Amino acid sequence: MNETELKHVIALLLEDAKRLQQLEPNAGTEARIWLALYAIESGRDDEG
């Protein structure tokens, strides 16, 4: 799996986590959502 495919999988999992967070709010899940967003965004910075 290349880096682009891996980022796509992370984005899909992130969407699932966001839906779960809406149904059943949890501070731990929210923190992991922010970490995933940061990882994706910092990866974009590395590409440019």
The rounded distance, in Å, linking the Cα atoms of 2 and 22 is: 31
The rounded distance, in Å, linking the Cα atoms of 28 and 43 is: 23
Question: Which pLDDT band holds residue 3 (cuts at 50, 70, 90)?
Answer: confident
The whole-number pLDDT of residue 35 equals: 92
Contact 21, 37 (CB under 8 A): no
pTM of this prediction exceeds 0.75: no
Domain coordinates in residue numbering, the chain: 1-44
10-39 pLDDT, tens digit per residue, is: 889 999 999 999 999 999 999 999 998 998
Stated as kind and residue range, the H or E segment containing 9 is helix 3-23
The whole-number pLDDT of residue 7 equals: 86
Q: Which two tokens stand for residue 40?
A: 């994706």
Q: Which two tokens stand for residue 33?
A: 């959502």
